[in-house]
Amino acid sequence: AQKVTQAQTEISVVEKEDVTLDCVYETRDTTYYLFWYKQPPSGELVFLIRRNSFDEQNEISGRYSWNFQKSTSSFNFTITASQVVDSAVYFCALSEARNNNDMRFGAGTRLTVKP
């Protein structure tokens, strides 16, 4: 069965620090998607990125970057020069091709960025 582990329950950093959120996944499927979502205090889930299992290329979007490594079953998320507005709960999620659209979420990491 698919599983997503976010070992970091809470992280606290000071503004402008870099921070990496870890995500480790388990799946028996060879075709799958990985996702990151942000849930700010308002509660709405904001989609950040999707990665498919055949594309290990890392991605950068502004201050955000993602490192996908199939060898370690990890899909880590780094925020560079963190800002107070980055404070939120971040969820990593996984969907397998054989369980079409059945998205499993990790427990989430609560990031607090202090001014």
Partner 1 sequence: SAVISQKPSRDICQRGTSLTIQCQVDSQVTMMFWYRQQPGQSLTLIATANQGSEATYESGFVIDKFPISRPNLTFSTLTVSNMSPEDSSIYLCSVGPRAGLGEQYFGPGTRLTVT
Which spans of this chain sit near partner 1 (rule: CB under 8 A)?
A: 31-33, 35, 37, 42-45, 47, 50, 52, 91, 95, 97, 100-108
What single DSSP character describes residue 50? E
**φ, ψ dihedrals at 113, nearest 5°:** -110, 120
In the complex with partner 1, the residue whose CB is nearer, 43 or 115, is: 43
Q: To the nearest whole angstrom, how small is the minimum distance from the Cβ of residue 27 to partner 1? A: 12
In the complex with partner 1, the residue whose CB is nearer, 35 or 113, is: 35
Q: To the nearest whole angstrom, how small is the minimum distance from the Cβ of residue 64 to partner 1? A: 15
Tokens of 49: 């990125």
Distances (CA, A) of 41 to 30, 76, 105, 112: 35, 22, 18, 11
Q: To the nearest whole angstrom, how small is the minimum distance from the Cβ of residue 75 to partner 1? A: 14
**φ, ψ dihedrals at 66, nearest 5°:** -130, 140
In the complex with partner 1, the residue whose CB is nearer, 15 or 97, is: 97
In the complex with partner 1, the residue whose CB is nearer, 60 or 107, is: 107
Strand pairing category for 24-26 and 3-5: antiparallel
